[in-house]
Chains A and B, each alone.
Chain A
Amino acid sequence: MILKKCKKFIWTFLKYFSLIFFSIVAVLPIVSCVVTAFKTDAEYQSTNVMTLPENWLNFTNFIEAFRRANMGQAFVNSTIVLIVVLMGSILFGTQIAYILNRFRFPGNGLVRSLFLFATLLPGVAMQVSVYSIMNSLGLINHLYGYIILMMGTDVISIYIFIQFFENIPVSLDESAIMDGASYFTIYAKILLPLLKPAIVTCMILKGVSTYNEYYMAQLYLQDKTRLGTVATSLFTFTGPLGSKYNLICAGVIISLLPALIVFILCQKQIYSGLTAGAVKG
């Protein structure tokens, strides 16, 4: 009996110890950033990085970082990109998923494998030649060029939608056809409303990845003062500002606030969306 209790105690201890340890590992780099972001220049130079700031209401770094990196404009641009890309990829994603799931036609399998194979090609490698295509289409340094590119490289949501369509009975479509509804009506009036949970999932996943995307953004939106997104605006802090970490940390914290808010509000959907997206392989 004592042995059993002892065992249970060790087990519980091990469990909480490892959970607490890894939680600290996960948040420590972020917390150290927050601590530093509240320090004045003098404080930053004279104290150790892990010493807490004197004044937790010292927002000067945040204001300075926001101004220097032109983050006002960046937030506007990111919002525009987000809205259009999300609308586009949900519209096109649900449409192609509807076609691929509901109609048997020659080429159905081919189109599916074309999309699947595209996921195998690493994005960074593709940009070598995508760059020259964007260049000849005149899409570099235009917000719409970047938006079009972001919409074109979305495959995961198509798979989430296809999966979801599979669980909506076809009899629903058939009875609507009996009533004389056109295919477009079936898609728009009957199926789209039923897809709401999948749409929310895709919006969150695609939203976070679009908001965080920086590689293509810095490649195709080179005019960073006018066309910077929130992610690329952080590039301001390389170069001469590269060692003013109190300023940099403030910028980083500002940039991850929206993701943090979304995370706190939609934790459940994010987890389940991730799981749904992973199963398809």
Chain B
Amino acid sequence: MSAASSQVVQAKQKRPFYFLKWAKSRKGQQTIIIVAFMFIPLLLLFTFTYFPFAEMFKFSFYKMKYIGPRKFVGLDNYIQVFKRDDCFGALKLSFYYIGGAMVQLVIALYLATMLSFKVKGGNIFKGFMFFPYLISGIAIGFIFKFFYTRGFVFDTVLQWCGFELENLPYWLKDQRINNISLVATSVWRYFGQNMVLFIGAIMSVDAELYEAAELDGANKFQQFRFIILPSIKTIVTLNVILSITGSLSAFEPPYVITSGANGTGTYFVIMNDIAHVSQKVGLASSMAIVLLFIIFVATVLQKLFFKYVMRDEEDENKRAGFRREKSLVRYRKKRGA
């Protein structure tokens, strides 16, 4: 491309006629369309992602507000991030979210398996369970503030099940339980979406396989273990990776439901407060950089880990593949006979 652009410069300087000729040639046309089609998306990408990223890095060494004077403080902000117990300590809450993500994965996997067998009204069930995903975060905040209020929806339902109101905790205030309540809202919101992803992967399996397996006398659990699980392994792995990085950057449930009160402030909720309420932009930037670094390391580690595990299992997969092929052949023979 650099050769092409110097060609442009030359053509412009000496004889403009050549520029037109170049612009009409295939090569010229290609360069023009590449530049024209990439210019705006790349401009947007740099203005709103990479330039801010660089700025953030710079901010993290300053004591500053959005407006007003700035003071260079070196690594002071970073030291603060690790010293202040409301900053780095907040990462502990991530464990709740990782736990929630695993529960969500298991529920989604279970339901997807159920729905992949013949079910009456399967689409309706699927629709009900998926819909929460389409609600805006802020609306979910209100729904669950209402849901968890003392004596309201959740308490009423539990009373129907025989619990006494006096024995029930305050779901959003009691520090022993409130983080779990918040994580539950996130599970509620996403399990249907995960389920749909898993169903999509399961459906990509040849339907004949199930029939063949059934003829071979495989029970439902074996069908799950040998047909369904291998076919969705990639997407499950992907979801595990996403859920761990997602848990580190958990933000929405506490932000919209409790605003981080009563010990529910996750790392990002606190960072958001520091940035936009108390306007300590430098400190917030260094918090962001620290977490981005952790997320980056976690992602790389997980990729490596799964690569390692997957390689071991690849052989087994091949064998499972052979088994499947064989049982298909048997099935076709039987049906032919």
Interface residues of B in 111-142 (CB under 8 A from A): 111, 114-115, 117, 119, 123-132, 134-139, 142
Q: Per-position contact with A for B289-300: 1 when CB-CB < 8 Å, else 0?
A: 001100110010
Chain B interface helix/strand/loop/mixed = helix
CB of A19 within 8 A of CB of B125, answer yes
CB of B34 within 8 A of CB of A103, answer yes
Q: Is B249 an interface residue (CB 8 A)?
A: yes
Known pairs A11-B220, A29-B188; A256 contacts B135 (CB<8 A): yes
The contact size tier of chain A is 35 or more
Known pairs A26-B129, A125-B268; A151 contacts B44 (CB<8 A): yes
CB of A99 within 8 A of CB of B37, answer yes
The contact size tier of chain B is 35 or more
Cβ 8 A contact of A260, one of B131, B144, B292 = B131
Q: Which residues of A contact B111 (CB under 8 A)?
A: 18-19, 22
Cβ 8 A contact of B295, one of A120, A151, A249 = A120
Known pairs A15-B119, A122-B249, A124-B272; A32 contacts B146 (CB<8 A): yes
Cβ 8 A contact of B268, one of A22, A99, A122 = A122
A26 to B132, CA, bound (A): 7
Known pairs A99-B33, A129-B59, A151-B44; A219 contacts B276 (CB<8 A): yes
Interface-forming stretch among B6-14, B81-89, B172-180, B280-288? B280-288
Interface residues of B in 138-189 (CB under 8 A from A): 138-139, 142-144, 146-147, 149, 151-153, 156-157, 188
A212 to B123, CA, bound (A): 24
CB of B284 within 8 A of CB of A15, answer no
CB of A129 within 8 A of CB of B285, answer yes
Interface residues of A in 97-115 (CB under 8 A from B): 98-99, 103, 105-107, 111, 114-115
Instruction: Give, as a whole number of angstroms, the nearest-CB distance from A6 to chain B.
Output: 14
A212 to B107, CA, bound (A): 25
CB of A248 within 8 A of CB of B137, answer no
What 6 new A-B contacts, CB under 8 Å, besides A23-B128, A120-B299, A183-B29?
A: A11-B220, A19-B115, A22-B129, A105-B34, A128-B271, A274-B200
Q: List 8 A-B contacts (CB under 8 A).
A: A19-B125, A29-B146, A33-B146, A125-B268, A212-B137, A232-B138, A271-B199, A278-B200
B residues contacting A by CB (< 8 A) are: 1, 26, 29-30, 33-34, 37-38, 40-42, 44-45, 47-53, 55-56, 59, 66-67, 107, 110-111, 114-115, 117, 119, 123-132, 134-139, 142-144, 146-147, 149, 151-153, 156-157, 188, 191-193, 196-197, 199-201, 220, 235, 238, 245, 249, 251, 255, 268, 271-272, 275-276, 281, 284-285, 288, 291-292, 295-296, 299
